[in-house]
A and B are shown apart, each in its own frame.
Chain A
Amino acid sequence: MITIKDVKKDYIDGDIKVHALRGVSMEIERGEFLSIAGPSGSGKTTLLNLIGCIDSIDGGEISIDGEELARRKAKELVEIRRHKIGFVFQSFNLIPVLSAYENVAIVLEMLELPRGEIRERTMTLLHEVGLEGMENRRPSKLSGGQQQRVAVARALIKEPLIVLADEPTANLDSGTGEALLKLMKRINHDRGTTFVFSTHDPMVMDYAGRLCRLHDGEIESDEKRSV
């Protein structure tokens, strides 16, 4: 579904060229629950950003559903993000002036679905992630774990091809983080949604169906696991 072939990414930091990715290749299949692990600075975020079409590739290629990203114009990448990709951020990134419901519904509003369908799907999903009764609360009235559930719902609501989560549990305590992972895992199981998440937390890696270790911008190991 997603093919990553010898992908390179460099950053210029002052006068120094940082090789964030030095040629990464992998294949991501539909329905995978993939964890990208690795120490700080190993290139996890960079890889997720490239898959998520929010950063430009310096070498190699990534294709989503056979579409090669490097050839796409900026506007087309926006459309790919809009329709195919869901993001979950370490710091939740909810809009503080919108309710939990609205933070999720915004995605479907962008897709211009009928209002009834938006309501139906948003409510169902919010219940599914365990936020029943909290739909009208603003983020400031939700705990960190609840906020991240809203963020997960926001990423899932469009039924994306892939959900990219960059250290989704890093801002949560371990219990809450584990609950969130269980939720993601359940959705992965029930809905067949593809998840790719980065982490350096061993507990989180335990949940992964496949673990890919990055080191210094290169893949160190890539193994399927049974959980």
Chain B
Amino acid sequence: MVRRARFFFVLAFRNLTRHRRRTVVTALAMAVGISIYTSMDSILVGFISEIDRNLVDFEIGNAAITAPEYWDERHRYLLDRLVEDPEALLRVLEEAGIPAAPRTTFRGDLIVHYDPFPEDGSVPMVFAGLDPELDSRVFRLREAIVEGRWLESGREEIVLGRWLAEQLGAEVGYPVSVTTRTRDGYRQFLELEVAGIYESPNPYVDRNKVHLPLDVADLYLEMKGAVTSIHLKLPEAIPGTADPAPARRVLEAVGAGPVVALSYADMTEEFTEMMEMEEGFTNLLLFLLAIIAIVGVSNTMLMSVLEREREIGMLRSLGLHNREIRLLFSLEAAGIGVLGAIGGLALGSVFTGLLVTYGVDYSRLMSEIDFAGYRFDSVLYGVWNYGTMVSATVFAVLVAGVVAIFPTRRILKKSVTDCLRHV
């Protein structure tokens, strides 16, 4: 069979040269499909990993420790499910070599007044008290400071995003007020000063979040040392894929109070919907690619089979089995698939290369539409996704090979003599 197969390869390849233009056009259609598929996938995966990176670096880390059920309820900002003794936990995490940063996230109103601000105003905001020393072990907010300076413990001050600062007309040194509620639900009023302005690639953090020193938040919110969460930075190659097991082991070893370690996936369940959307979109593209392959290849192969009917009759009279003739035509079609895949990978690599290097700038789109819930920068970069390239290739070749069976089978239903009589 091996020897025979070799000969079939030779013949199938030669058959591709009979109508070069037809072969090339069909392969080109496949190439375009494959390149669109791979580059769309590149940008979509880039989009997702951008979101992952932004979440990991600016909002949640790649794992966290919270009170049980805190995470599901976190958007209610009730301060009733807390990590009561973060100090002890931070100590054991430190011993275990796991970078950790405590944060207390709460809601309040940010109030600004005319002069120095251009006008009076009050906006509901999410506030995060953070430990100015520990925070940069996990997050990259500190690096994002572009004006003023980073927070200092014990000082009644905030840092906020460039976008928000521009909206409010805030500048470094300006006084702001915050109204919120304490842990026990009493109204509280804080007077703070803008210490710095950051510019992060995470629009949510830039627009909807204000940061202040953790001890200041602790004092005014009467937290008695408790925090809402401790964020961790566990080793990982791709953002959002860290294994939370080390953190869980630490928690188990110390028998820490009522707390749980959450993985990145635990914390981003709401995004799975988007991931599914992405997957759905990719599958739709794959489906379209399949249609191109099926229609293109079956049409081309149908023509090939029909015009070679007499030759098929001759091969059958020579003693070729039907399966061998099917194999011959499938190999020929798969050859078109291979050509299409080569072209598609070449074309797709060019597109992907451009997407990876230059990205897609949609800042104009961004300034008009507020994607508050989604976290991405205004330039979206593609990523190299070799898995997709390989699977698109395999898929194209397989689909082409399988599709060829149908027109071939049609001819093989005829008798040998009918095939031979064909003119």
Contact = CB atoms under 8 A, between A and B. Distances in A.
Given A93-B310, A95-B311, A87 B11 contact: no
B318 A112 contact: no
A55 B420 CA distance: 11
Interface residues of A, number: 29
B188 interface: no
- Indicate the member of B4, B17, B420 with the most A CB atoms within 10 Å: B420
A129 B7 CA distance: 24
B15 interface: yes
A54 B316 contact: yes
Contacts of A26: none
Interface in B304-318: 310-311, 313-314, 316-318
A82 interface: yes
Given A55-B415, A106-B7, A109-B7, A78 B321 contact: yes
A95 B11 contact: yes
A110 B314 contact: no
Nearest to B314: A93
B277 interface: no
Interface of A: 49, 52, 54-56, 75, 78-83, 85, 87, 89, 91, 93, 95-98, 102, 106-107, 109-110, 112, 115, 154
Among B10, B313, B319, B417, residue most surrounded by chain A Cβ atoms (within 10 Å) = B319
A83 B14 contact: no
8 contacts: A49-B416, A78-B316, A81-B317, A93-B420, A96-B18, A97-B11, A97-B14, A112-B1
Given A54-B415, A54-B416, 12 more contacts: A55-B415, A78-B319, A78-B321, A82-B319, A83-B319, A87-B317, A87-B318, A89-B314, A97-B17, A97-B18, A98-B11, A107-B318
B364 interface: no
Contacts of B10: 102
B3 interface: yes
Interface in B271-315: 310-311, 313-314
Interface in B336-389: none
A82 B320 CA distance: 7
Contact of B318 (A49, A82, A97, A102): A82
A201 B232 CA distance: 95
A87 B417 CA distance: 12
A120 to B, nearest CB: 16
A112 B314 CA distance: 19
Given A55-B416, A55-B417, A93-B314, A109 B3 contact: yes
A160 B317 CA distance: 13
Q: Which residue of A54, A56, A75, A87 has the most chain B CB atoms within 10 A of its CB atom?
A: A54
Nearest to A151: B314
B319 A110 contact: yes
A52 B319 CA distance: 10
B13 to A, nearest CB: 9
A180 B416 CA distance: 26
A96 B416 CA distance: 20
A75 B324 CA distance: 12
A109 B314 CA distance: 16
A112 B319 contact: no
A54 B420 CA distance: 10
A54 B416 CA distance: 6
A75 B311 contact: no
Nearest to B423: A91
A54 B317 contact: yes
Contacts of B4: 109-110, 112
Contacts of A96: 18
Nearest to A93: B314
B412 to A, nearest CB: 11
Given A93-B310, A97-B15, A110 B420 contact: no
Nearest to B17: A97
Contacts of B14: 97-98
